[in-house]
Structures are given as structure tokens and as C-alpha cells.
């Protein structure tokens, strides 16, 4: 398959992960977690008994298809070490993990959406996470992936997904039957939704219950704001511009509110979850859903009749014409205070084996590519051609400070806006206020 993501895929895939040089990895408590020599002892002594790793994550932190659990089962078969997955709702996980880290009760492994701007505030890696810098597989991850999990020159996590690109995934048959073209402006988008609604179909499946999902149009249009106001990200980071004064953000909130009021999200959008999206699109109850391109393969996997029946188009709110590139992604960290850190390292090495990376790619319809360069992405040529035609920029929560830590709070504010409890102006005021609070906590000199 034609490889269109060469700009993201740079490193070389090398050796299997049980090889090593007997290094040790410093943990967050100043102690050492043994690496390759420990693994050799494991191989000599056979399977472990009575060892269970706890793995804490949010729902969207691991693929819903179960491929990580499948790999964990293979790991258990090989080593005897069990992995107990503790999955929390997306809207609760960040706060829950903070409590667990502060109380010393965090799981052996925990999953976090990691990016350079919020990594420290989220997990304080130098205090809570095992330093993985000397692990063999680190050099095999793409550079952009390492940048998201690096703090003070050290690598603290393993990750797998390539950068996230969000589009409206749409049912081609519905569009064709109704004579619709993909919209490129907000007014065209409204016309498309109105036509679909009049045909008795929910225009857009909106997963408001998941909290983060409704934030994607707002923050995912960040590169467009930057295009309209060159230097905007820098001004926001230097606190020379207040985010509540970014006019296009307010415009997009107003348009999202209008869509809710016009019924384009359907009757039950406040209780909709991300997990149900595949069924709604696969059965034709809804025509569009905002997700990464891999969503098409998820639908096809459950509904074979939908093969090649899903297309993608850029979010047209505000007449946006720039694709947001989100290099941040779910990453797995090892709790440096865990008594099982040694065994968690074994699990990471197992996941990083070339054959297991390929297994993940082949058995995960949710991701069409990995941040491991020699694993060939599986994007259809149609998607590649469209994606390559678009101008790109950095998504807002990766390029602007103090956005990502309040992602869920913003989602709750947008939900309140949908119900009439808040105005778009009040949502913007809250975003600005929370940024200032985060800056004060971080002692950011730009806010002094």
C-alpha cells in the first residue's frame, strides 16, 4: 500500500525485546528496576506464579476491539503473569488517577493521554513513573511519539498509536441516495444535515456522554484559528492574548449550539456514548460521526455490508479548511512505587516485539497505523489522497498550554451550553479562567 505518512514515520524497527545488555532503569524513588538480566532469570526459571499486574486506563485509552487484552492473554500464557485491566469512564479517569497517584494507590501500569505541554502536570513522571530511557525499544518508536512522553531528557512511557486525525465519517450510500456532496462550509454543512434529517435519519451521532467528544470541533479547529490569526498560539502561551477573545472559537461554539437546537444530533445525544457509534452508523440510523479514519474499519468489521461505504471530510464548522494533527496519544506508564515494576517492564518488552506490534496492527480496526516506523499503515488510497490534499497544523491542546488538562471540563461546559444552562460566552470565560488557574499552579511567569 502506498505510504502517505512518511513525514511521521522515521525510525527503524530492529530487534526483539528480550535481548539486552543488563542495564538498570532508575525509578521515581531513586531505586533501580533491573532490566535484561532480570528477564534472563525469568526465562531460566519458567513461568511466574501468583503475579498479577494491575492496568488502569480510561475507556478510550485502549482499543475497544480487545487487542491489548488479547496480547495480555498471550503474555500470561508465555510468562504466567496475569494482567488485570481496570477500565474507567473517560470523564472520570483523569481525576481518579490523580487521586490514586497522590494516595500512593495507583495501579502497576496506568494509561494517560500524553503530550509535551501537560505531561508533568498530569503524572509528575519524575516522581511517579519508571524511567524507560534505556529500554531497547525506545529507539524504535517514532520521534514524535517520544517527544510526547519525554520529561527532563528521559522517556517515561510506551505508546502505539500514530497521530490522531479527526474527520466526519459519513455513510456514502445515504449521501448518494439524497444527492449530497461533502460540505466544505458551515452553510453547506447545515444544508446537508437538514436534508438528512428530513429523510428521517439522524444527521450526526454526537457522543456527548463521553465528555471529550464534543470538544473536538472546538479545539480541533485550532490550526484554523492560527491561520486566521498568525502567531495566535504563541500569543496565548505568552499570555499576551486572552483565549476568550479568540473570535472564531466563540463562532464555532455558537454553530455547535445551533446544531443541537436544530436537532441535528438527534433526540438522545446527551446520553450517547462513543461505544455505540459503530452500531448507529453501521445500521444507517445516523449518517455521520466525528472520529479518526480507522472508525470506518471498525464499522466494516461489525457490518460487512458497509465495506467501502464510509468516506471522510474535514470538520466544516466556521468554514474550517485546515486539518488538525494531534501527535498526543494514549501512553502506558509504569508506577515507580509498584512492587511489580520488574514484571511490568517484561510486559512492555513483550508488547514492543515486532511480531506483537504487527499483531496489534492486524487485529485492531481502530488504528490504521502505529508510531513504530516499520509497521506499514493500512490507510485506503482514497483516504490517503484526501488527507494529502489538506493543509495541516497542530491541534490546539498540543500547541497551546493549559488546554488539555481542562478537556473534560470544557466538554461538560459544552453539554451545559447545549441544554441552555450556559452561553457560548460563559464557556469561553471558563476556558480562560481555568487556564489562568493552571498557570498559577505551574508558577508560569507569563501569568505573573
Q: Give the pLDDT score at 47.
A: 80
> Which tens digit of pLDDT belongs to each residue from 28-38?
443 345 443 34
Tell me which of 34-43, 383-392, 398-407 is least confident.
Answer: 34-43
Q: Give the pLDDT score at 40.
A: 36
Q: Can you tell me the distance from the alpha carbon of 422 to that of 413, in angstroms, rounded to the nearest whole number?
A: 7
Q: pLDDT band at 162, cuts 50/70/90? A: confident
Q: Average pLDDT of the chain?
A: 89
* pLDDT higher at 63 or 35: 63
> Which tens digit of pLDDT belongs to each residue from 288-307?
999 988 899 889 989 999 99
> Does residue 196 contact residue 287 with C-beta atoms inside 8 Å?
yes
Helix, coil or strand: residue 150: strand
Tell me which of 182-186, 274-278, 375-379 is least confident.
Answer: 375-379
DSSP label at 229?
Answer: S
Q: Give the pLDDT score at 90.
A: 86
pLDDT at 3 over 70: no
Q: Give the pLDDT score at 21.
A: 35
Q: Give the pLDDT score at 33.
A: 53
DSSP label at 164?
Answer: B
C-alpha cell at 404: 488539555
Q: Give the pLDDT score at 244.
A: 97
> Does residue 280 contact residue 202 with C-beta atoms inside 8 Å?
yes
C-alpha cell at 73: 492473554
C-alpha cell at 281: 452508523
Identify which of 33, 70, 97 has the alpha carbon closest to the alpha carbon of residue 363: 70
Q: Can you tell me the distance from the alpha carbon of 249 to that of 225, in angstroms, rounded to the nearest whole number?
A: 8
Q: Can you tell me the distance from the alpha carbon of 192 to that of 189, in angstroms, rounded to the nearest whole number?
A: 5
Write the burial class of residue 103 (CB in 10 Å: 0-12 exposed, 13-18 middle, 19+ buried): exposed
Q: pLDDT band at 7, cuts 50/70/90? A: very low
pLDDT at 110 over 70: yes
Q: Can you tell me the distance from the alpha carbon of 369 to that of 56, in angstroms, rounded to the nearest whole number?
A: 24
> Which tens digit of pLDDT belongs to each residue from 347-397?
999 999 999 999 999 998 778 889 999 898 877 888 889 988 999 999 999
Q: Give the pLDDT score at 34.
A: 46
> Does residue 105 contact residue 98 with C-beta atoms inside 8 Å?
no
- Whose grid coordinates read 499552579? 441
Identify which of 349, 353, 352, 354 has the alpha carbon closest to the alpha carbon of residue 375: 354
Instruction: Give residues with Cβ within 8 angstroms of 327, minimum separation 6.
Output: 115, 144, 145, 147, 148, 163, 394, 398
> Does residue 344 contact residue 109 with C-beta atoms inside 8 Å?
yes
Amino acid at each position: 500500500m502506498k505510504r502517505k505518512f512518511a513525514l511521521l514515520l522515521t525510525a527503524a524497527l530492529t530487534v526483539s525485546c528480550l535481548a539486552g545488555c543488563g542495564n538498570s532503569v532508575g525509578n521515581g524513588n531513586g531505586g533501580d528496576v533491573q532490566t535484561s538480566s532480570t528477564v534472563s532469570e525469568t526465562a531460566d526459571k519458567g513461568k511466574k506464579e501468583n503475579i498479577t499486574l494491575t492496568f488502569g486506563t480510561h475507556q478510550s485509552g485502549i482499543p475497544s476491539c480487545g487487542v491489548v487484552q488479547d496480547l495480555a492473554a498471550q503474555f500470561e500464557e508465555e510468562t504466567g503473569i496475569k494482567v488485570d485491566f481496570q477500565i474507567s469512564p473517560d470523564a472520570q479517569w483523569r481525576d481518579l488517577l490523580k487521586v490514586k497517584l497522590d494516595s500512593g494507590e495507583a495501579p502497576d501500569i496506568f494509561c494517560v493521554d500524553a503530550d509535551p505541554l501537560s505531561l508533568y502536570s498530569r503524572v509528575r513522571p519524575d516522581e511517579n513513573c519508571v524511567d524507560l530511557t534505556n529500554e531497547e525499544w525506545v529507539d524504535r518508536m517514532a520521534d514524535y511519539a517520544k517527544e510526547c512522553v519525554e520529561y527532563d531528557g528521559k522517556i517515561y512511557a510506551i505508546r502505539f498509536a500514530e497521530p490522531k486525525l479527526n474527520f466526519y465519517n459519513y455513510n456514502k450510500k445515504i449521501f448518494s441516495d439524497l444527492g449530497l456532496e461533502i460540505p466544505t462550509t458551515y452553510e453547506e454543512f447545515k444544508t446537508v444535515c437538514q436534508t438528512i434529517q428530513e429523510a428521517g435519519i439522524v444527521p450526526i451521532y454526537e457522543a456527548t456522554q463521553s465528555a471529550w467528544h464534543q470538544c473536538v470541533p472546538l479545539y480541533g479547529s485550532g490550526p484554523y484559528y492560527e491561520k486566521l490569526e498568525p502567531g495566535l498560539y504563541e500569543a496565548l502561551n505568552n499570555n499576551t492574548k486572552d483565549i476568550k477573545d479568540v473570535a472564531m472559537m466563540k463562532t464555532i461554539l455558537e454553530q455547535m449550539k445551533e446544531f443541537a437546537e436544530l436537532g441535528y444530533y438527534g433526540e438522545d445525544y446527551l446520553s450517547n456514548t462513543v461505544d455505540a457509534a459503530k452500531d448507529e452508523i453501521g445500521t444507517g440510523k445516523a449518517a455521520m460521526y466525528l472520529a479518526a479514519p480507522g472508525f470506518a474499519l471498525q464499522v466494516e468489521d461489525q457490518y460487512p455490508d458497509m465495506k467501502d461505504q464510509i468516506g471522510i471530510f474535514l470538520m466544516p464548522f466556521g468554514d474550517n479548511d485546515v486539518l488538525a494533527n494531534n501527535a498526543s496519544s494514549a501512553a502506558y506508564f509504569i508506577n515507580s512505587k509498584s512492587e511489580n515494576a520488574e514484571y511490568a517492564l517484561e510486559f512492555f518488552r513483550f508488547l514492543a516485539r515486532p511480531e506483537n506490534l504487527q499483531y496489534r496492527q492486524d487485529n485492531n480496526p481502530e488504528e490504521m497505523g502505529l508510531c513504530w516506523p516499520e509497521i506499514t499503515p493500512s490507510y485506503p488510497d482514497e483516504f490517503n489522497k484526501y488527507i494529502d490534499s489538506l493543509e495541516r497544523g497542530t491541534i490546539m491542546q498540543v500547541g497551546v498550554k493549559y488546554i488539555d488538562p481542562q478537556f473534560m471540563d470544557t466538554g461538560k461546559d459544552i453539554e451545559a451550553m447545549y441544554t441552555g444552562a450556559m452561553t457560548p460566552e460563559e464557556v469561553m470565560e471558563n476556558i480562560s479562567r481555568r487556564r489562568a488557574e493552571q498557570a498559577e499552579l505551574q508558577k508560569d511567569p507569563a501569568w505573573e
